[in-house]
Amino acid sequence: MTSPVSSEPVGQPHFHYANGQLHAEQVALEPLARQLDTPLYVYSRAALQAAWTRYQDAIAGRDVLVCYGMKANSNLAVLAEFARLGSGFDIVSGGELARVLAAGGDPARIVFSGVGKKVWEIEAALTAGIKCFNAESDAELERLSAVATRTGQTARVSLRVNPDVDAQTHPYISTGLRDNKFGIAIERAREVYRHAVSLPGLEVVGLDCHIGSQIESVAPYLDALDKLLDLIDALETDGVQLHHLDLGGGLGIRYEDETALPPQALLDGVFERLQQRGRSHLQLVLEPGRSLVGNAGVLLTEVQYLKPTEARNFAIIDAAMNDLIRPALYQAWHGVLPVTPRQDEPAQTWDLVGPVCESGDWLARQRVLAIRQGDLLAIESAGAYAMAMACNYNSRNRPAEVMVDGADFHIIRRRETLEDQLRGESILP
């Protein structure tokens, strides 16, 4: 479907037009891109703060720990900003643990998710003193017990339960269905909890679930919550006392015409159900990622060539699927804005494609834009699952990242060089 001509940022109030140019806060993006080159990721510090404030306002004094799902964007400056604001962190690897610690995050506010934790990762997390491991299999419980016992430590664990709830999202980002790789089937959870409490070196402290991402309704959360509360009732009869309930993350953002689910609506619905079931004493843990950073960033790119054909008009840009893989991977929609809108060019319908040698290398299709070769475009809502998933396919350097703070900007990751890419490789003698 052909979109109307883009005119204003969608869902990104800290990106706006002023004096005929797109700005991030008070910084004009045209001169920024010309100075630092493209592709270029630009984030707004005020947008990060505003997203965090929406959660804090919704919490309103209730016992909730927000653990930023850092796989969405793991830049040290982003992590340090959330650490400064008081966030916890949801990690899925030893590398993410190291990043959180380097950014000043509090280990006691870290939960360690993920299906494939290695021994060294468990050892590092135990040494750091994290809040909890979210265990996802019987085999992982055995490994956690063995490592904790060998090192003379105690591993605090929650079981990630798969409630078989449809989050009504893209299949690749749905995580709570029976055929997903994540979690322990809820039908087996009671048995697995009994096993967990019998293992040495473990302290069972919570219950965890995560049903997916880009969720737009409270209903799937409440469906999962009802199943979890039934399980908590059953565990109590087995003598298993839990201290926290982790509902994961997954709140969606606005990319096109979606209605983003406000944290207030989620928390009010969850706490009403907890109160009804007599479980309001449990600490609630949330793991938002996309909803904290997704609308805080754009990807700037320059039009290299315009290539009209009989079938389609192609605008060949210098950003590619290796810089932003979501469209190729999920068929995801990102809005496209001219950084400096033109009044001297008729609007036409364009496919925005990159230089990578794949037919799947596209960032946007059928967009109505008035553009010329050399123009700058902003790919919207690129703060989450964008630079974090970038790679060197076709031996392309990964982009630089910039954080705008009012009228100032800071380079928070320099542009990768070919020397960076080749470092660590060697030729056979």
Q: Is 374 domain-assigned?
A: yes
Q: Is 393 domain-assigned?
A: yes
On whether 249 is known to bind a ligand per the annotation, the reply is no
Q: Is 7 domain-assigned?
A: no
Say yes or no: 78 and 20 in one domain.
no
Please give the structure tokens belonging to residue 407: 């009228």
Please give the structure tokens belonging to residue 277: 């079931």
Say yes or no: 312 and 410 in one domain.
yes
In 3D space, the residue among 200, 192, 91, 206 whose CA is nearest the CA of residue 154 turns out to be 200
On whether 358 is known to bind a ligand per the annotation, the reply is yes
Say yes or no: 208 and 338 in one domain.
no
Residue 165 is predicted with a pLDDT of 81
Distance CA(365)–CA(349), nearest Å, equals 9
Q: Is 3 domain-assigned?
A: no
Give the residue ranges of the chain where pLDDT is below 50: 1-5, 169-177
For 212-225, letters b (16+ CB in 10 Å) and e give: bbbbbebebbebbb
Catalytic residue among 132, 209, 357, 391: 357
Q: Is 2 domain-assigned?
A: no
On whether 289 is known to bind a ligand per the annotation, the reply is yes
**Beta carbons of 107 and 129 less than 8 angstroms apart:** yes
Of the residues 236, 261, 292, the one at which a domain ends: 292
Backbone angles phi, psi at 111, to 5 degrees: -115, 140
Express each pLDDT in 51-78 by its tens digit. Answer: 999 999 999 999 999 999 999 999 999 9
Q: Tell me how far CA of residue 230 lies from CA of 221, 226, 278, in angstroms.
A: 14, 6, 12
Q: Is 428 domain-assigned?
A: no
Say yes or no: 411 and 285 in one domain.
no
Say yes or no: 53 and 139 in one domain.
yes
Residue 3 is predicted with a pLDDT of 44
The number of helices, as runs of H, and strands, as runs of E, in the chain is: 12, 21
Say yes or no: 51 and 30 in one domain.
no
On whether 290 is known to bind a ligand per the annotation, the reply is yes
What range defines the domain where residue 412 resides?
Answer: 15-44+294-422
Say yes or no: 88 and 27 in one domain.
no
Residue with tokens 């870290």: 110
Residue with tokens 């269905």: 177
Q: Is 364 domain-assigned?
A: yes
Say yes or no: 105 and 247 in one domain.
yes
Express each pLDDT in 159-206 by its tens digit. Answer: 999 988 865 544 444 444 455 667 899 999 999 999 999 999 999 999
State the total domains in the chain: 2
Say yes or no: 40 and 53 in one domain.
no
Of the residues 292, 322, 355, the one at which a domain ends: 292
Say yes or no: 168 and 262 in one domain.
yes
Give the CATH number, domain containing residue 351: 2.40.37.10
On whether 220 is known to bind a ligand per the annotation, the reply is no
Residue 295: how many CA atoms within 13 Å on its side-chain side? 25
Please give the structure tokens belonging to residue 78: 């982003």
On whether 385 is known to bind a ligand per the annotation, the reply is yes
Say yes or no: 252 and 370 in one domain.
no
Of the residues 260, 292, 324, the one at which a domain ends: 292
On whether 236 is known to bind a ligand per the annotation, the reply is no
The question of whether 357 is a catalytic residue gets the answer: yes
Residue with tokens 């980002």: 173
Q: Is 124 domain-assigned?
A: yes
Say yes or no: 151 and 218 in one domain.
yes
